[in-house]
Amino acid sequence: MKSISLLALGLLAASTAVAQTRPVAADTVVTPAEAPATPAANPLTPYGFVDGYYGYDIKHAATNDRPSFLYSHDRQNEFTVNNAVLGLRYDNGQVRGALGLHAGTYVSANYAAEDQVLKHLYEAYAGFRPFQKAWLDVGVFGSHIGFESAISKDNWTLTRSLMAENSPYYEAGARFTYEVDPKLTLTALVLNGWQNIRENNQKKAVGTQLQWRPTEKLLINSSTFYGNEQPQDLAKRRRYFHDFYVSYAATERLSVAGVFDVGKQEQAARGSKADTWHTGAASYAISWPRNGRPQPARSTTMPTTASSFPRFRPSLPMPTFK
């Protein structure tokens, strides 16, 4: 299916970053695990965002739905809202928390398997410092996997890559983050699963993240996931996944990034060949000042290879690979 236009308008209602453990630009890392050097005068911060769009596909069936492997901007020939977010965050340097609600076509598509009330939670977590340089958060928060987020304004491109659409945008569980030094941050997670708020079996998944910034311009990220994502009454199929990306601010206006994902999931029948997934992409973003103010970046993403396209999303009863 070829898409000739997808127009979206993002309106930022409050100047705050969203909770995603990924950079919004090559020279900026936004991580919910990070705390300000000194507590803000007002620990309460409201935030909001609206992403409205119209899209049209030339070769579409007699439906307003776009292909089932897309979850963001997934409607065509329709004026609608992809994601509208409204929330409040608290952080006094020792204790923090957040509660955000959202609605839109992204929520309808990506949270289809969630409880009808829980699906409208964009984030809902509470955390504290068990000791200096560490945070322990519990609840629903942004995914530790991937270069892109569910919030359009924080991505280099408006539409999402297939890598982003088939890896988690959100997670539920416990997250422990430790800042080794200003250049290195380590995170360990215990999760309900691969992007699901409600647990679907008796096993927990685990994840890790390493973010290293050797210089102000260079960021290296490594994120992992391991867990069984099958419902309790089905045979166990363990999933292994690794997300790696590097971003570099070449100049004040030009940033580049390289991303590579690889994953494997066991078959129910032991001895059978595992399903696999691997893909990569290279991106660049160009920004330019106007009247002394920075303007939005122009960017391009160039995908490389993909094999055995996965259906990782929990919106399907049984996540499988194509």
Block means of pLDDT (10 residues each) for the chain, length 322 residues? 40 36 39 48 94 89 86 93 97 96 96 93 97 97 94 89 91 97 97 93 95 97 94 87 96 92 87 86 79 52 44 36 29
Residue 108: per-residue pLDDT: 94
Written as one letter, the residue type at 292 is G
Those residues with Cβ within 8 angstroms of residue 161's Cβ, 6 or more apart along the chain or in another chain: 148, 281, 301, 303
Q: Using CA atoms, how far apart are residues 240 and 145, in angstroms rounded to an integer?
A: 13
Strand 134-142 versus strand 121-128 pairing type: antiparallel
Residue 299: per-residue pLDDT: 52
Contact criterion met (CB below 8 Å) for 89 and 104: no
Strand 298-307 versus strand 275-286 pairing type: antiparallel
Residue 19: per-residue pLDDT: 36
> Which residue in this structure is represented by tokens 């994840």?
207
Q: Is 242 in a helix, a strand, or coil? A: strand
Strand partners, 298: 286
Closest CA to 192 of 138, 265, 122: 138
Q: Which CB contacts under 8 angstroms, 24+ apart, belong to 233-240?
A: 234/268, 234/318, 235/268, 236/203, 236/266, 236/268, 237/265, 237/266, 237/267, 237/268, 238/265, 238/266, 239/194, 239/263, 239/264, 239/265, 239/266, 240/264, 240/265
Element (H, E) at 110: helix 105-110
> For residue 153, which phi and psi values (nearest 5 degrees)?
-65, -20
Q: Using CA atoms, how far apart are residues 108 and 74, in angstroms rounded to an integer?
A: 10
> Which residue in this structure is represented by tokens 């705050």?
16
Q: Using CA atoms, how far apart are residues 177 and 175, in angstroms rounded to an integer?
A: 6
Q: Using CA atoms, how far apart are residues 78 and 81, in angstroms rounded to an integer?
A: 10
C-alpha radius of gyration, the chain, whole number: 19
Residue 38: per-residue pLDDT: 55
Closest CA to 316 of 57, 64, 71: 71
Residue 318: per-residue pLDDT: 31
Per-position b or e across 56-92, b if 16+ CB within 10 A of its CB: ebeebeeeeebeeebbbbbbbeeebbbbbbbbbbebe
Contact criterion met (CB below 8 Å) for 263 and 310: yes
Contact criterion met (CB below 8 Å) for 284 and 256: yes
Q: Using CA atoms, how far apart are residues 92 and 83, in angstroms rounded to an integer?
A: 29
Q: Is 165 in a helix, a strand, or coil? A: helix
Per-position b or e across 158-193, b if 16+ CB within 10 A of its CB: bbbbbbbbbbbbbbbbbbbbbbeeeeebbbebebbb
Q: Using CA atoms, how far apart are residues 79 and 70, in angstroms rounded to an integer?
A: 17
